Chain A
Amino acid sequence: MKGPGRMLQLILESILKKPSTVSYPKFKEAPLKSLRGAIAFIPENCIGCKICMKDCPAGAIIITKIGEKVFQAEIDLSKCIYCAQCVDSCPKKALEYTTQFELAALDKNKLKVTTSGKLQTTTQNETPKSE
């Protein structure tokens, strides 16, 4: 087909096609399993070698000793570039990446996620909610 005829075919195709986007936040597409999202800290595995701190390109992770063999990690999500190098660098698998990507917050302090070991009571700041 030539000229307007070819256009007509395209128009019909486009009318019948569903939109490529979804109406977020009403509908959410599941994130890809391979997505490098927020970093999670598993305090039980940490030995406090601080290699993750040394390798982090953004200086987003701070490990502090809070007790005998108990460590606390403070991950600054506003600094984190989500490269997950810390996960690769960790010799004891104390860090892992999650597929969590809805990390926006109005308060900058909420972007600092602190996870500590068992000696201390529970976490100081929760991971920001996705709303």
Chain B
Amino acid sequence: MPKKVRIPVGPQHPALKEPVSFSLELSGERILEATIRLGYNHRGIEKACEERSYIQDLYLLERICGICSHSHSTCFVQAVEEIAKLEVPKRGLYIRTLIAELERVHSHLLWLGVAGHEIGFDTLLMFTWNDREIVMDLLAETTGNRVNYGINSIGGVRRDITDEQIKKIMKAMDTLEERTKYYIKIATEETTIIQRLSGVGVLSHDDAVKLGAVGPTARASSVDRDVRRDDPYAAYGEIKFKVITDNHNDVYGRTIVRVLELMESYNIIRQLLQNIPAGPIAVKAPRKIPAGEALSRYEAPRGEDVHYVKSNGTENPERVKVRAPTLANIQAVAHMLKDRYLADMPIIIAAIDPCFSCTDRAITVKDLGQKSEGLMQWGDLRKYSIEWYKGKGIDFSNLKKI
């Protein structure tokens, strides 16, 4: 029996794209236990939202994530619209859904490339990222920017779509569909991919439910769950589409789910463009949102995104809470890493399509010496911080009390 070794991976590590810390207990090459520590990318966005108006929050929340930016802004806007009882015009909802699906296409193509890169198949990265440019160009043309589209406004969307753009998107969908068929062929026939990904990062159906996995990670473990169908928002109620599930339960299953979801997205985009109704794209929203609270769900490319907004009748929200999909999936990663080889770690982590800066919302302060967890009131926390700084030779005690 080899000796047990504990090695840290991260917060800065070549295998990781973002700062997150994994502490792995190894026996030889095998991972016995993985402990994840988040919190290196905490940016205080939720607090910042409380200090800004609803219009400013829209752009701030869009910048939670560079890839699923439309997801976060739509999720927030939906909650605010529900509180303010605004009825968004149909055309506005269709455009919102269209951008959402284009975003899903670009995110899944990006993931496919990253997954290829992690298993040493860089040709796939070059291929998919080349095709991703088609979607990026479409997004740039319809919204005005490649990322952080800024298409949402409270009560609708900011830009209308022209017939010319509709034709262009339709044409691009044909090209992309042809390319995606090729990727499906690669994913289902190429033996190297099947051999490398099968049995890696196994998450059984029961574990996926128990650990609360969302999105493609859950659907690859045959958890038939998709907010777009279960709780239709925007224009999804009027669109026919299949929810892709797979029973491979591993990284290979997640690849299959994502490539097949691409095909469904093309299908949804075509339906949206064919049935897009004429009319206004937005309604005027009041600056002061009446008091109330709302919870909004949204199926981001990575899984279910949840925003909670509480308003108090002023121009600024009282509380904004964001639960990004990675937070739901991260516990499953610790489970998936168990009993796998160390070399499988990068692809297992990449398979949930993690975005740690989206996830970092709050940090828990633990006192390791006392082994206790507790809530600190504002006054206690203030006293503690003043004492802490006094120890460092800085005196804050004369400052005005808040």
Which A residues are closer than 8 A to B by beta carbons? Answer: 20, 32, 34-36, 54-57, 81-85, 88-89
Are B59 and A34 in touch, CB under 8 angstroms?
A: no
Give the docked Cα–Cα distance between A36 and B144 (Å): 6
Are B53 and A32 in touch, CB under 8 angstroms?
A: no
Stretch at the interface among B91-99, B135-143, B293-301, B353-361: B135-143
Are A20 and B130 in touch, CB under 8 angstroms?
A: yes
Are A85 and B59 in touch, CB under 8 angstroms?
A: yes
Give the docked Cα–Cα distance between A67 and B150 (Å): 35
Are B59 and A81 in touch, CB under 8 angstroms?
A: yes
Give the docked Cα–Cα distance between A89 and B150 (Å): 14
If A20-B130, A20-B133, A88-B153 touch, does A34 touch B52 (CB 8 Å cutoff)?
A: no
Nearest CB of chain B from residue A47's CB, rounded to whole Å: 18
Are A36 and B53 in touch, CB under 8 angstroms?
A: no
**Chain B: interface size category:** 20 to 34
What 0/1 pattern do residues 381 to 394 of B give for CB contact below 8 A with A?
Answer: 00000000000000
Interfacial chain A residues near B314, Cβ < 8 Å = none
What 0/1 pattern do residues 134 to 161 of B give for CB contact below 8 A with A?
Answer: 0000001111110010100100001100
Residue of B nearest to A55 (CB): B55
If A83-B150, A88-B153 touch, does A32 touch B158 (CB 8 Å cutoff)?
A: no
Q: List 30 A-B contacts (CB under 8 A).
A: A20-B130, A20-B133, A32-B140, A32-B141, A32-B144, A34-B140, A34-B143, A34-B144, A34-B159, A35-B140, A35-B145, A36-B144, A36-B150, A55-B53, A55-B56, A56-B56, A57-B52, A57-B56, A57-B57, A57-B58, A57-B60, A81-B59, A81-B63, A82-B145, A83-B148, A83-B150, A85-B55, A88-B153, A88-B158, A89-B55
Interfacial chain A residues near B142, Cβ < 8 Å = 34
Give the docked Cα–Cα distance between A56 and B57 (Å): 10
Give the docked Cα–Cα distance between A87 and B4 (Å): 61
Nearest CB of chain A from residue B146's CB, rounded to whole Å: 10
5 closest Cβ contacts across the A-B interface? A57-B59, A57-B56, A36-B144, A83-B150, A34-B144
Give the docked Cα–Cα distance between A35 and B144 (Å): 4
Interfacial chain B residues near A88, Cβ < 8 Å = 153, 158
Nearest CB of chain A from residue B98's CB, rounded to whole Å: 15
Give the docked Cα–Cα distance between A130 and B196 (Å): 49
Nearest CB of chain A from residue B161's CB, rounded to whole Å: 11
Most B CB within 10 A of own CB, among A20, A36, A56, A89: A36
Interface residues of B in 50-72 (CB under 8 A from A): 52-53, 55-60, 63
Give the docked Cα–Cα distance between A35 and B153 (Å): 18
Give the docked Cα–Cα distance between A20 and B130 (Å): 9
If A20-B133, A35-B144 touch, does A83 touch B59 (CB 8 Å cutoff)?
A: yes
Give the docked Cα–Cα distance between A121 and B133 (Å): 46
Interfacial chain A residues near B150, Cβ < 8 Å = 36, 83-85
Are B141 and A34 in touch, CB under 8 angstroms?
A: yes
Give the docked Cα–Cα distance between A75 and B275 (Å): 41
Interfacial chain B residues near A34, Cβ < 8 Å = 140-144, 159
Residue of B nearest to A82 (CB): B145
Residue of A nearest to B162 (CB): A34
Nearest CB of chain A from residue B175's CB, rounded to whole Å: 14
Interfacial chain B residues near A32, Cβ < 8 Å = 140-141, 144
Give the docked Cα–Cα distance between A82 and B148 (Å): 10
Interfacial chain A residues near B140, Cβ < 8 Å = 32, 34-35
Nearest CB of chain B from residue A24's CB, rounded to whole Å: 16
Nearest CB of chain A from residue B101's CB, rounded to whole Å: 19
Residue of B nearest to A97 (CB): B144
Nearest CB of chain A from residue B145's CB, rounded to whole Å: 6
Residue of A nearest to B165 (CB): A34
Residue of B nearest to A89 (CB): B55
Interface residues of B in 345-359 (CB under 8 A from A): none
Interfacial chain B residues near A36, Cβ < 8 Å = 144-145, 150
Nearest CB of chain B from residue A8's CB, rounded to whole Å: 15
Interfacial chain A residues near B59, Cβ < 8 Å = 57, 81, 83, 85
Interfacial chain B residues near A55, Cβ < 8 Å = 53, 55-56
Interfacial chain A residues near B57, Cβ < 8 Å = 57
Give the docked Cα–Cα distance between A45 and B58 (Å): 27
Nearest CB of chain B from residue A82's CB, rounded to whole Å: 7
Give the docked Cα–Cα distance between A30 and B8 (Å): 48
Give the docked Cα–Cα distance between A43 and B143 (Å): 27
Interfacial chain B residues near A84, Cβ < 8 Å = 144, 150
Give the docked Cα–Cα distance between A54 and B56 (Å): 9
Nearest CB of chain A from residue B287's CB, rounded to whole Å: 9
Interfacial chain A residues near B159, Cβ < 8 Å = 34
Give the docked Cα–Cα distance between A85 and B57 (Å): 12
Interfacial chain A residues near B58, Cβ < 8 Å = 57
Nearest CB of chain A from residue B60's CB, rounded to whole Å: 6
Interfacial chain A residues near B52, Cβ < 8 Å = 57
Give the docked Cα–Cα distance between A82 and B143 (Å): 12
Give the docked Cα–Cα distance between A14 and B105 (Å): 24
